[in-house]
Structure 1
Amino acid sequence: MLLNDSGAPTIGFLHTSPVHIGTFDTLVAEHPGGFNTVEVVDEPLLDLARSVGPSHPDVVAGISSSLDELERAGASIVVCTCSTIAGEAELVGERFDVPVVRVDRAMAERAIASGTRIAVVGALESTFSPTRALLESCASSEGVSIEITDVFSEGSWDNFEAGNIDGYMQSVAATCSSLGGTCDVIVLAQASMAVAATMVEGPIPVLSSPALAVEAAIAAVQDRLDSGQGR
């Protein structure tokens, strides 16, 4: 397990957009343990996954290459921050010595604990299937029945791709606000939407994945350290 100068381990991140770097670096830096970060950004991987599917051999090969790079760089755990490929990243990660977790797993677990009517808001169609599958898996593990509604945030991704992040967040927040009392909890399917969660007023909780994912990853590393496990 690679430690930085402060004696803390390293959290690795697999991104498909550089926009995530600042978000996750800040979240890790805010933790009192002084954890280090190492990141790989593979933007074409998302486009490929959207085109041929996340389980396509070429996508799997890309994920494997990125995980190998992060493992060799000394990551103690890897968080895949792209919800489209995150489920596949967990499967590919089983071949590695370093644990690999999807960015939305902790959020999904929190959602299941928050209510049975779950609205999933996404700006990319490719995020709905893996998010739904994860929620259903978490619900099954807890022995509860849930009702999932996919809510597409029309036009939001156009803002994101144009670099209009403020417009992206406002559009996502507006989509969430439009749901009214139709659900018990709202799940933001993409890590890039996190700021939008803070822009929605009302009694319905809006969950985003970055902070919960970092919290869970750090807890997992600390558990490994406490049990004397290395990489």
Structure 2
Amino acid sequence: MKKTLYTINTVNNFMDIIFKPFGEPFAAQTEGLTIYNIMDDSLLKETLAGGGVTANVCSRMLSYAQAAQASGADGILTTCTSVNEATKYIRKFLNIPVMNIEEPVAEMAVANGTRIGILATLPTSPAAIGRVIMEKAAEAGKEIELVNEVVDGAFDVLCSGDREKHDRMVCEALYQLAEKVDVIAFAQISMSLLPHDPVNVPVYKIGLSGFEKNYSMMNE
């Protein structure tokens, strides 16, 4: 059966860090699936400036999602952790599955740890994914502790095109955090291509699992 998935992206390099490494291969291996992409990098800029999702961000995301639904979308996947509160809000106005890409990572972290490290390169990301992790923990009746680590400046370095420096900065934080927690959840998909040495705890990265779960929801 043919299915159409729309993604909503908040960074202008989403093709290199999201669609080509994750979305395109998933579509290629999933018969009948077509993926279209919406990008508005002002969504993240406004969220960062406001210290969280604003009413205006919610309104614009709802407009994009409604347009996608009107265009024949069977599901919508938001790829930015920082705006997941808006994704949760707009679900009630749509008739198709709408989810944020980090949700499966939150579920895996809760299932496999109690002291959960959250590694991020944006200041808004730990609180955003942390809310989802806490919701999943409550659903599971499990008490957990969150340990947040933000690699200041690494996201700007990545956006400037210096992936090598970005990776060095994040790896250093990763190795230190791994000594303090049971599991680690990467808070952003922009970090998911990070090459790193093995660590002694599970590391859950945002990416393919989000596409898989959204597609599964589309077929329920």
Give the alignment's TM-score, normalised by structure 2. 0.91
Residues 148 and 69 of structure 1: CA distance in aligned 2, closer, same or farther (over 3 Å): same
Contact 2:116 2:184 in 1 (8 A): yes
Question: Helix, strand or coil for the counterpart of 2:45?
Answer: helix
Identity percentage of aligned residues: 21
- Out of 35, 38, 63, the residue aligned to residue 37 of structure 1 is 35
Asked if residue 8 in structure 1 is aligned to residue 14 in structure 2, the reply is no
Distance in 1 of aligned mates of 2:30 and 2:90: 31
Unaligned runs of 5+ in 2: none
Given residue 213 of structure 1, which amino acid in structure 2 is its aligned partner? G
| 1:115 alignment partner, one of 95, 110, 113 | 113
Residue 150 of structure 2 aligns to which amino acid in structure 1? F
Indicate conservation of the 8 Å contact 1:81/1:102, yes or no: yes
Please tell me the residue identity of whatever aligns with 1:222: N
Once the two structures are superposed, the pairs formed by residues 93-108 of structure 1 within 5 Å of their partners are 93-108=91-106
- After superposition, the Cα gap between the structure-2 partners of 1:167 and 1:8, relative to the gap in structure 1 and judged at 3 Å, is farther
Residue 53 of structure 1: CA displacement? 4.6
Secondary structure at the counterpart of residue 192 of structure 2: helix
2:170 is aligned to 172
**Are the counterparts in 2 of residues 38 and 73 from structure 1 also a CA contact under 8 Å?**
no
Query: Which residue in 2 is equivalent to 1:88?
Result: 86
Residue of structure 2 equivalent to 1:183: 181
SS of equivalent residue, structure 1 residue 125: coil
Task: Tell me, yes or no, if structure 1 residue 211 matches structure 2 residue 205.
Answer: no
Q: Secondary structure at the match of 2:191?
A: helix
Contact 1:119 1:185 in 2 (8 A): yes
Q: What residue identity is the alignment partner of 1:171?
A: M
SS of structure 2 residue aligned to 1:69:
helix
Query: Quick check: 1:27–1:211 contact (8 Å CA) kept in 2?
Result: no
Shift of 1:177: 1.4
Mapped contact 1:87–1:102 kept (Cα < 8 A): no
In the TM superposition, residue 79 of structure 1 has moved relative to its aligned partner by: 0.7
Amino acid at match of 2:5: I
CA–CA distance in 1 between the matches of 2:70 and 2:64?
10
Structure 1 75/23 Cα, relative in aligned 2: closer, same or farther at 3 Å?
farther
Contact kept in structure 2, 1:29 and 1:35, CA below 8 Å: yes
Classify the secondary structure of the residue corresponding to 1:121.
strand
Higher relative contact order (CA 8 A, sep 6+): 2
